[in-house]
Amino acid sequence: MADPFGFLKYSRVDNPYRQISERIGDWQELQIPLEEKERRKQAARCMNCGIPFCHSGSFYGSQRAVSGCPNDNLIPEWNDLLYQGQVQAAFERLARTNPLPEMTGRVCPAPCEKGCTESLNGDGVTIHDNERYIIDQAFEAGWVKAEGQPGAATGFKVAIVGSGPAGLAAAWRLNQLGHHVTVFERSDRFGGLLMYGIPNMKLDKEIVQRRIDLMEELGIAFVANTEVGVDISSEKLSQQFDRIILATGASVPRDLPVKGRQLQGIQFAVDYLTEVTKDVLKHGKDATSKKLAGKHVIVIGGGDTGNDCVGAAIRQGAKEVRQLEITPELPAKRTASNPWPEYPFVDKVGYGQAEAQAVYGRPVSQYSTSTTGFIGAERGQVIAVETVKVDEQFQPIAGTEEVFKADLILLAMGFTGAEQALFEAFDIKEIMDDYTTNNERVLVAGDAKRGPSLVIWGIREGRKAAEKVDASLRSLIYQ
């Protein structure tokens, strides 16, 4: 490394968040990126330790979460180049494995940082923020377009169904390799969860659209408002294209079938966040509406999506927000059963939860709380939620029942998997580890293959599936 003592000279400095009092009044991005001088110092903290925990994603212990980057990003290499001020070279090294670093540099939970050797006795390197800086500079300088130029045309045509992280990554890589790519999306806009599943303050939609626009400029075709099996048949798609990649995500939300579930005012989180984003796209991100003024909002689910719902509801003027989580509160520090380099299962306060604390003057999250039913008014509108505390085996504790007022309930309990109709349309009965299926013309990638996961997993699988398609198509030339 250019500065082998950087990790001793400089302390970790994250991109600061805007003040809560300011940011809850708009939909602008949360973070303020550091200037180049400070960014280079942060890159100097990477000591190229020779232990690949940061750039080799692995599951440890309980197998609950990956530690290190599952996309095999060459992190120490581009950190060193960034420190030296060779930002273009850093981008080129980053782009070897990650086609969409502007997305992961904003929304990835950074398991790479948790596996960083610096995390053993201190704070890991700011890999996430460094990545964002590199790609933002690359877009400004025009390097991304140059890197994405398609190779010699192969004459093969590939259809990609779904335009989320896996679909976009696959399309980008296939286009680079010289194939003609068409992306089909059933929604009105492209990006999948990047567009409609993550609110604007966390991932600005201009960032997503910037990538889509560039991909179109580089020759990738995008077809919106088109659902395969409804607007175009699987048979027709198979006739028109040499290969098809299904990258539709794990879009079936987990439901909560308890008493009163049919009441009005109970929504899946993804539907609510879609409405929020459409509202921002229509009215702009400089101000917030007060659609939820005077309303009591209950968010069921304690993950990132639930946190996003909390932040969005606050911006829409909710009078009160509560977040209910059935699992117990995590410890403040690692336990002996959760050592480095495992992903740390420790308590953390999300941006939305911090905002709720500031706005309402109390913690928003209630742990070890199970929802047992919903109460409605005569006209079928939800007015309250019934809860009970649970023990470590998730069994109800007598005498802990409680009722909370609710005008809107958001179910943010994750997803159960992919919709099966599309698999059935292509007669897919088996999906192999290498993305191929029993239908030799159809591959599956991303959450549609592995189930609900991180954006970086989708990017990796899209890229790998694209390279698998490329190899199979090129083999036809020599037959």
pTM here is 0.95
Is the residue at 444 inside a domain?
yes
Q: Do 263 and 248 belong to one domain? A: no
Is the residue at 36 inside a domain?
yes
The string of pLDDT tens digits covering residues 424-438 is: 999 999 999 999 999
* Nearest Cα to Cα of residue 306 among 333, 335, 331, 326: 326
Q: Do 270 and 382 belong to one domain? A: yes
Q: Do 236 and 162 belong to one domain? A: yes
User: Given a cut of 80, is residue 52 above it in pLDDT?
Assistant: no
**pLDDT band at residue 384, thresholds of 50, 70 and 90?**
very high
Rounded to an integer, what distance in angstroms lies between the CA atom of residue 189 and that of residue 475?
A: 35
Q: Is 474 exposed, middle or buried (CB count within 10 Å of its CB: 0-12, 13-18, 19+)? A: middle
Q: Do 266 and 226 belong to one domain? A: no
Q: Do 239 and 380 belong to one domain? A: no
Of 60-64, 178-182, 352-356, which range is least confident?
60-64
Q: What local confidence, expressed as pLDDT, does residue 64 receive?
A: 67
| Residue at which a domain ends, from 361, 386, 413 | 413
Q: Do 62 and 153 belong to one domain? A: no
Cβ contact 407:296 at 8 Å: yes
3-state secondary structure of 305: helix
Where residue 366 sits, what CATH number does that domain have?
3.50.50.60
Q: What local confidence, expressed as pLDDT, does residue 58 receive?
A: 79
Is the residue at 461 inside a domain?
yes
Where residue 103 sits, what CATH number does that domain have?
1.10.1060.10
Q: Of residues 132 and 66, which shows the higher confidence score?
A: 132
Domain span at 298: 255-413
Is the residue at 1 inside a domain?
no
Rounded to an integer, what distance in angstroms lies between the CA atom of residue 18 and that of residue 36?
A: 19
User: Given a cut of 80, is residue 300 above it in pLDDT?
Assistant: yes
Contacts with 257 (C-beta within 8 Å, 6 or more apart), sequence order: none
| Residue at which a domain ends, from 413, 447, 465 | 413
Q: Do 248 and 307 belong to one domain? A: no
Is the residue at 10 inside a domain?
yes
Is the residue at 262 inside a domain?
yes
User: Given a cut of 80, is residue 356 above it in pLDDT?
Assistant: yes
Is the residue at 205 inside a domain?
yes
The amino acid at 189: R
Mean pLDDT of 203-214: 98
Q: Do 230 and 295 belong to one domain? A: no
Mean pLDDT of 209-237: 97
Q: Do 290 and 394 belong to one domain? A: yes
The residues with which 41 forms a beta bridge, in sequence order, are none
Total domains in the chain come to: 3
Q: What local confidence, expressed as pLDDT, does residue 63 receive?
A: 65
Mean pLDDT of 138-163: 97
User: Given a cut of 70, is residue 351 above it in pLDDT?
Assistant: yes
Q: What local confidence, expressed as pLDDT, does residue 2 receive?
A: 67
Q: What local confidence, expressed as pLDDT, does residue 252 receive?
A: 94
Q: Do 359 and 421 belong to one domain? A: no
DSSP annotation string for 67-88: ES-TT---HHHHHHHHHTT-HH
| Residue at which a domain ends, from 375, 391, 413 | 413
Rounded to an integer, what distance in angstroms lies between the CA atom of residue 353 and that of residue 77?
A: 35
The residues with which 442 forms a beta bridge, in sequence order, are 244
Q: Do 160 and 231 belong to one domain? A: yes
Q: What local confidence, expressed as pLDDT, does residue 378 receive?
A: 85
Q: Do 268 and 241 belong to one domain? A: no
3-state secondary structure of 252: strand
Is the residue at 431 inside a domain?
yes
- The pLDDT mean for the chain works out to 94
User: Given a cut of 80, is residue 373 above it in pLDDT?
Assistant: yes
3-state secondary structure of 127: helix
Between strands 320-324 and 58-59, the pairing is unpaired
Rounded to an integer, what distance in angstroms lies between the CA atom of residue 142 and that of residue 156?
A: 28
